[in-house]
């Protein structure tokens, strides 16, 4: 087995996935870059040394695509997988009833089922790799129910629960399972809207409430921590830490504050 460590990254064509793949590659890791966006993958890979990455296009909802990508990755990584970074995700912003059932299905299928598919696909290789781990991208929206992000928030709660359960289950294999839980980051997801033709998006709400937005590089640094640390959940940004504290110790106050903000936005 090759001594060089390796990471398999979904959603590597932009945002957190791109920044994390580049960060780990800069540390000498072999990076597997995967996304549905081929041009985005090319952009991620352009500054990486030849021989230090592989890339492929597939949809995380596609189990056959997962199997093909994982087999190709294993051939080039020396048959090892130190970190599976289940990062691909989408969101829809808006009132629940304004988002179509089909769009909600897509959020659930990519954000939750895509992670489950990744665990199934990666586990055999992870079990062969000493001290391997899975990092699942959740969100601060997986700490408290986030209005106008209801289904997105539900998927991130589910990813958090899956992470906690599998970290216990897979301890019998010596595989850790942890999560990355970002606050708002400067990525394309801030531009997500809800219904077709909606004239407001998440970025507008953030602007109105003066919420903090963190650079995506911070998520990559925290992903590195998640690949090496002892915790289960890794918050990204001080606001994410504050949200976790408030949700645990002052849930009613947090809920009432959000209701006031929603009322002011109507």
The three-state DSSP-derived secondary structure of the chain is: CCCCCEEEEECCCCHHHHHHHHHHHHCCCEEEEEECCHHHHHHHHCCCCCCCEEEEECCCCCHHHHHHHHHHHHHHHCCCCCEEEECCCCCCCCCHHHCCHHHHHHHHHHHHHHHHHHHHHHHHHHHHCCCCEEEEECCHHHCCCCCCCHHHHHHHHHHHHHHHHHHHHHHHHCCEEEEEEECCECCHHHHCCCCCCCCCCHHHHHHHHCCCCECHHHHHHHHHHHHHCCCCEEEECHHHHHHHHHHHHCHHHHHHHHHHHHHHHC
Least confident of 91-95, 128-132, 193-197: 193-197
What's the pLDDT score for residue 187?
66
Cα–Cα distance measured from residue 84 to residue 74, given in angstroms and rounded to the nearest whole number: 12
Could you say which of 93, 152, 214, 234 is catalytic? 152
Query: Which has the closest alpha carbon to 179: 220, 235, 127?
Result: 235
> How far, rounded to the nearest angstrom, does the alpha carbon of residue 9 sit from its chain's CA centroid?
10
What's the pLDDT score for residue 201?
56
Q: Are 194 and 92 in contact (CB under 8 A)?
A: yes
Cα–Cα distance measured from residue 140 to residue 225, given in angstroms and rounded to the nearest whole number: 17
pLDDT in tens, 2-39: 479 999 999 999 999 999 999 999 999 999 999 999 99
Please compute the mean of the pLDDT values over residues 91-120 and round it to a whole number: 96
Question: How much is the pTM?
Answer: 0.89
Residue 19 token pair: 């920044």
pLDDT in tens, 39-52: 999 999 998 999 99
Q: What integer best gives the mean pLDDT of the chain?
A: 89
pLDDT in tens, 236-262: 988 888 888 877 876 777 677 766 666
Please compute the mean of the pLDDT values over residues 200-226 and round it to a whole number: 76
pLDDT tier at 1 (50, 70, 90 boundaries)? very low
What's the pLDDT score for residue 102?
97
Cα–Cα distance measured from residue 57 to residue 32, given in angstroms and rounded to the nearest whole number: 11
Based on the residue annotation, tell me whether 152 is a catalytic residue of this protein: yes
What's the pLDDT score for residue 183?
81
> How far, rounded to the nearest angstrom, does the alpha carbon of residue 66 sit from its chain's CA centroid?
17
Please compute the mean of the pLDDT values over residues 197-211 and round it to a whole number: 55
- Report all structural domains of the chain as residue ranges with CATH numbers, in order of start: 6-265 (3.40.50.720)
């Amino acid at each position: 087995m090759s001594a060089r460590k390796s990471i398999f990254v979904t959603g590597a064509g932009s945002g957190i996935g791109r920044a994390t793949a580049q960060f780990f590659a800069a540390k000498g890791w072999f990076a597997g870059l995967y996304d549905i966006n081929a041009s985005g993958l090319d952009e991620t890979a352009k500054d990486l040394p030849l021989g230090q990455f592989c890339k492929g296009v597939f949809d995380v909802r596609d189990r056959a695509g997962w199997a093909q990508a994982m087999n190709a990755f294993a051939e080039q990584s020396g048959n090892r997988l130190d970190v599976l970074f289940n990062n691909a995700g989408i969101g829809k912003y808006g009132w629940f009833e304004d988002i179509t059932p089909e769009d909600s299905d897509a959020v659930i299928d990519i954000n939750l089922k895509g992670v489950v598919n990744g665990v199934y696909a990666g586990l055999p290789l992870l079990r062969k790799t000493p001290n391997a781990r899975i990092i699942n991208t959740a969100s601060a929206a997986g700490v408290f129910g986030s209005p106008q992000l209801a289904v997105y928030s539900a998927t991130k709660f589910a990813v958090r629960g899956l992470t906690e359960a599998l970290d216990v289950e897979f301890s019998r294999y010596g595989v850790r399972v942890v999560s990355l839980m970002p606050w708002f980051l400067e990525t394309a997801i801030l531009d997500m809207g809800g219904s077709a033709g909606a004239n407001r998006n998440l970025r507008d709400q953030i602007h109105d409430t003066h919420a903090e937005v963190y650079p995506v590089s911070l998520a990559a640094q925290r992903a590195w921590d998640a690949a090496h640390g002892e915790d289960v959940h890794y918050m990204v940004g001080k606001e994410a830490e504050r949200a976790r504290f408030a949700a645990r110790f002052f849930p009613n106050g947090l809920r009432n504050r959000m209701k006031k903000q929603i009322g002011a936005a109507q």
